[in-house]
């Protein structure tokens, strides 16, 4: 309890000590109040400018090619189709939006790498500058490697200009009127009138390399995804020149869409050129293969593989049937020949074994009729009948005729059998070599089908690429164009009030603390000196 009372007395002593210096606190309050008022009054009113875009996914070839028939199926079989849409990497798009190259183009287009300020002012002008400084050529604008400051002053109706940079001494120029060309080691610059209705006045101009300004812009911009599962991106920045911020954001979106569209068109153009070359090459290959197939068919007498096989099988069966018939006929002829040559059958009618049996004018039929007539007469009378010798003589003559007829028929049958067997052998040889021919033909057809499949795939891809080129849309669909928020972000009165309170307390306390420490050190020094 006694320790608490001691602490209470010590804190009370400190507060009383501080309160005894109320004039110091009052002075600090008045000083910080004046600084706060100056901040609120003179600090330019700064606003936040925001825009929203929605990233559009690329349409894959499956989306365009759905329903284009066999080619789409072939594409899917090669892993090039089947409804696969383009994927979108939001992080990559964010990096592209904040890339130095893109920011550099925006800075050069809007001219914001050139900063205009009035003397003794930090307020950078934008679209109300009385004079305008530009690079005389694209090389100077693109390759400038350091800042160049231009101090423009009016004196006695003349325009006096001093230029400064880190790597060289000052240069001075005097002109009676504008426009004026300023030749410098960094390049040539042109100073001309800005807004026509504004009179020329003193101006400090700082020309920055576009890449340096792009670095500053990257830090000033806030570009982030609206939500985790969203393709909407928010772009924002703060500036006391609202038009500058609005134009910068809109121009950034415009260049982003322009760059992505140009890239897709260039890619599609190269793809189309490649596809056209490959399609032309494949067309020639297909023509060569078709000529090879036609020549192969002509040389090997092929029309259709399955039809040819069926035809040869049917023809072979027909030939084999005829050979069997001819062999049977030859056997019968041999039997008849043996019958005729046998003396025991000299006056016996020949059996009807041949197809000539029904032909009444055939030698065999006449011979049989003669023998039948002779036998009938002998049967009805006797062998002494005067007609018998005459009939015997005629039958002997007809026998010789029959013999010659059978011999000729046997030769003709043998020749027919030989011819049929030759045809059979040719067919056998043809069918024996047919598997090799068929294999060669199948290889040619396979080459043709592969070339046709690739040809269809390339045609499919060319049509889809042409459609994508014609239907190319902007990558960043503008949801909200750049707009200025209602409430300014600076100056903030609450910050000024908090600063006044904080520094009103902090400045006297620090001052008294330093004063106490200094007094203590001086007293110690004096004691040691004595």
C-beta of residue 122 within 8 angstroms of C-beta of residue 130: no
Any domain includes 103: no
pLDDT at site 61: 43
Q: Are residues 384 and 496 in the same domain?
A: no
Least confident of 226-235, 293-302, 346-355, 520-529: 346-355
Q: Alpha carbon 410 to chain centroid distance?
A: 81
pLDDT (tens digit, 9 = 90+) per residue, 126-140?
988 999 999 998 888
pTM higher than the cut 0.85:
no
Q: Are residues 463 and 497 in the same domain?
A: no
203, with CB counted inside 10 A (0-12, 13-18, 19+), is buried
Q: Are residues 187 and 324 in the same domain?
A: no
pLDDT at site 76: 47
Any domain includes 272: no
C-beta of residue 185 within 8 angstroms of C-beta of residue 168: yes
Measured at the alpha carbon of residue 236, what is the angle toward residues 234 and 238, in degrees to the nearest 5? Answer: 170
Q: For the chain, what is the domain count?
A: 3
SS3 content of the chain, % helix, strand, coil (to 5): 60, 15, 20
Query: What residue has token string 């003709």?
Result: 412
Any domain includes 220: no
Q: Residues 31-37: what's their mean pLDDT? A: 87
Instruction: Identify which of 322, 326, 316, 324 has the alpha carbon closest to the alpha carbon of residue 427.
Output: 316
What are the φ/ψ torsions at residue 482 (nearest 5 degrees)?
A: -55, 130
436-458 burial, b at 16+ Cβ within 10 Å, e below that, comes to: ebbeebeebeebbeebeebbbbb
Q: Are residues 377 and 507 in the same domain?
A: no
Is the pLDDT confidence value at 67 over 50? no
Any domain includes 20: yes
pLDDT at site 59: 57
Any domain includes 399: yes
pLDDT at site 234: 92
Is the pLDDT confidence value at 203 over 90? yes
Average pLDDT, the chain: 80
Least confident of 18-27, 113-122, 164-173, 281-290: 18-27
- CA 205 → CA 131, 132, 160, 161, distances in Å? 10, 9, 13, 10
Least confident of 132-141, 175-184, 237-246, 346-355: 346-355
pLDDT (tens digit, 9 = 90+) per residue, 225-278?
888 788 899 999 999 899 999 999 999 999 999 988 888 888 888 888 888 888
Strands 47-55 and 114-117 come out as unpaired
83: left (phi over 0), alpha (psi -120 to 50) or beta: left
Is the pLDDT confidence value at 77 over 90? no
Q: Are residues 316 and 395 in the same domain?
A: yes
Here the tokens at position 243 are 């038009």
Here the tokens at position 503 are 């520094």
Q: Are residues 407 and 363 in the same domain?
A: yes
E strand or H helix at 158: strand 158-165
Q: Residues 302-317: what's their mean pLDDT? A: 69
Q: How far apart are CA 278 and CA 453, in angstroms?
A: 13
Q: How far apart are CA 383 and CA 386, in angstroms?
A: 8
Q: Residues 172-179: what's their mean pLDDT? A: 91
Is the pLDDT confidence value at 356 over 60? no
pLDDT above 70 covers a percentage of the chain that reads: 83
pLDDT (tens digit, 9 = 90+) per residue, 367-415?
777 777 777 777 777 666 677 777 777 777 777 887 888 888 888 888 9
Alpha helix stretches (DSSP H) within 124-196: 138-143
pLDDT at site 354: 55
Q: How confident is the model at residue 105 (pLDDT cuts 50, 70, 90)?
A: very high
Any idea what DSSP says for residue 492? -
Of residues 192 and 20, more confidence is placed in: 192
Any domain includes 371: yes
Of residues 524 and 356, more confidence is placed in: 524
Query: What residue has token string 């700064």?
Result: 46
Least confident of 40-49, 62-71, 235-244, 485-494: 62-71
Q: How confident is the model at residue 489 (pLDDT cuts 50, 70, 90)?
A: confident
- CA 433 → CA 264, 326, 437, 439, 440, distances in Å? 56, 28, 6, 10, 11
pLDDT at site 205: 94
Question: Containing domain of residue 194, as a range?
Answer: 114-207
Any idea what DSSP says for residue 199? P
Instruction: Identify which of 39, 204, 46, 217 has the alpha carbon closest to the alpha carbon of residue 125.
Output: 204
- Bridge partners (DSSP) of residue 520 are none
Instruction: Identify which of 86, 95, 93 has the alpha carbon closest to the alpha carbon of residue 231.
Output: 93
- Tell me the residue length of the chain: 530
Any domain includes 65: no
E strand or H helix at 154: strand 148-155
Of residues 366 and 205, more confidence is placed in: 205
Give the domain-ending residue among 207, 236, 265.
207
Report, in angstroms and rounded to the nearest whole number, the Rg of the chain calculated over CA atoms: 58
pLDDT at site 434: 64
Q: Are residues 35 and 155 in the same domain?
A: no
C-beta of residue 186 within 8 angstroms of C-beta of residue 140: yes
Is the pLDDT confidence value at 461 over 50? yes
Q: How far apart are CA 150 and CA 116, in angstroms?
A: 10
Q: Are residues 342 and 451 in the same domain?
A: yes
Q: How many CA atoms lie within 13 A of 485 on its CB side?
A: 16
pLDDT (tens digit, 9 = 90+) per residue, 143-159?
888 999 999 999 888 99
341: how many CB neighbours lie within 10 A of its CB?
10
Q: Alpha carbon 433 to chain centroid distance?
A: 49
Here the tokens at position 163 are 């230029």
Instruction: Identify which of 262, 270, 271 has the alpha carbon closest to the alpha carbon of residue 464.
Output: 271
pLDDT above 90 covers a percentage of the chain that reads: 22
Q: How confident is the model at residue 302 (pLDDT cuts 50, 70, 90)?
A: low
460: how many CB neighbours lie within 10 A of its CB?
24
pLDDT at site 10: 60
What are the φ/ψ torsions at residue 77 (nearest 5 degrees)?
A: -65, -25
Q: Are residues 136 and 30 in the same domain?
A: no
Q: Are residues 462 and 501 in the same domain?
A: no
Q: Are residues 341 and 439 in the same domain?
A: yes
- CA 191 → CA 51, 131, 188, 226, distances in Å? 34, 7, 10, 43
Any domain includes 251: no
pLDDT at site 153: 93
Q: How confident is the model at residue 102 (pLDDT cuts 50, 70, 90)?
A: very high
Q: How far apart are CA 410 and CA 329, in angstroms?
A: 9
Here the tokens at position 269 are 């153009």
DSSP symbols for 31-94: HHHHHHHHHHHHSPPBEEEEEEEEEPPPPPHHHHHTT-THHHHHHHHTTS-SSPPPP--HHHHH
Give the domain-ending residue among 168, 186, 207.
207
DSSP symbols for 93-127: HHHHHT-HHHHHHHHHHHTTTEEEE-TT---EE-S
Q: Are residues 405 and 514 in the same domain?
A: no
């Amino acid at each position: 309890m006694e320790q608490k009372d001691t602490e209470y007395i010590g804190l009370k002593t400190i507060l009383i000590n501080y309160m005894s210096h109320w004039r110091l606190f009052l002075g600090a309050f008045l000083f910080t109040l004046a600084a706060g008022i100056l901040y609120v009054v003179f600090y330019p009113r700064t606003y936040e400018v925001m825009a929203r875009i929605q990233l559009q996914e690329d349409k894959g070839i499956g989306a365009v090619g759905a329903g284009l028939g066999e080619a789409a199926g072939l594409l899917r079989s090669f892993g090039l189709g089947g409804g696969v849409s383009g994927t979108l990497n939001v992080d990559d798009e964010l990096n592209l939006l904040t890339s130095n190259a893109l920011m550099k183009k925006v800075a050069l287009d809007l001219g914001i790498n050139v900063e205009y300020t009035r003397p003794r002012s930090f307020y950078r002008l934008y679209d109300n500058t009385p004079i305008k400084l530009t690079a005389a050529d694209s090389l100077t604008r693109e390759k400038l490697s350091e800042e160049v400051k231009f101090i423009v002053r009016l004196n006695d109706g003349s325009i006096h200009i001093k230029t400064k940079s880190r790597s060289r001494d000052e240069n001075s120029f005097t002109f009676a009127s504008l426009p004026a060309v300023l030749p410098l080691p960094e390049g040539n610059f042109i100073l001309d009138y800005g807004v026509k209705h504004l009179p020329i006045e003193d101006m400090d101009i700082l020309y920055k390399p576009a890449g340096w300004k792009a670095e500053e812009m990257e830090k000033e911009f806030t570009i982030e995804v609206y939500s985790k599962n969203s393709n909407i991106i928010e772009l924002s920045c703060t500036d006391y020149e609202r038009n500058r911020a609005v134009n910068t954001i809109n121009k950034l979106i415009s260049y982003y869409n322009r760059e992505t569209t140009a890239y897709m068109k260039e890619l599609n153009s190269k793809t189309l050129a490649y596809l056209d070359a490959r399609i032309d090459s494949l067309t020639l290959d297909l023509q060569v293969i078709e000529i090879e197939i036609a020549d192969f068919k002509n040389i090997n007498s092929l029309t259709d593989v399955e039809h040819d096989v069926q035809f040869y099988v049917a023809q072979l069966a027909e030939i084999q049937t005829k050979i069997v018939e001819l062999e049977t006929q030859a056997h019968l002829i041999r039997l008849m020949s043996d019958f005729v040559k046998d003396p025991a059958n000299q006056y016996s009618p020949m059996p009807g074994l041949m197809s000539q049996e029904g032909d009444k004018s055939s030698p065999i039929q006449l011979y049989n009729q003669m023998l039948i007539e002779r036998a009938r007469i002998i049967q009805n009378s006797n062998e002494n009948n005067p007609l018998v010798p005459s009939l015997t003589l005629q039958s002997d003559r007809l026998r010789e005729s029959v013999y010659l007829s059978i011999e000729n028929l046997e030769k003709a049958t043998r020749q027919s059998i030989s011819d049929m067997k030759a045809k059979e052998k040719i067919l056998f040889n043809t069918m024996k070599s047919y598997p090799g021919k068929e294999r060669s033909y199948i290889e040619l057809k396979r080459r043709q089908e592969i070339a046709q499949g690739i040809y269809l795939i390339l045609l499919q891809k060319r049509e889809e690429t042409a459609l994508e080129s014609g239907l190319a849309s902007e990558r960043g669909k503008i949801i909200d164009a750049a707009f200025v928020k209602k409430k300014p972000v600076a100056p903030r009165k609450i910050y000024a009030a908090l600063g006044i309170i904080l520094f009103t307390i902090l400045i006297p306390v620090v001052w008294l603390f330093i004063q106490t420490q200094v007094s203590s050190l001086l007293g110690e020094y004096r004691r040691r000196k004595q």
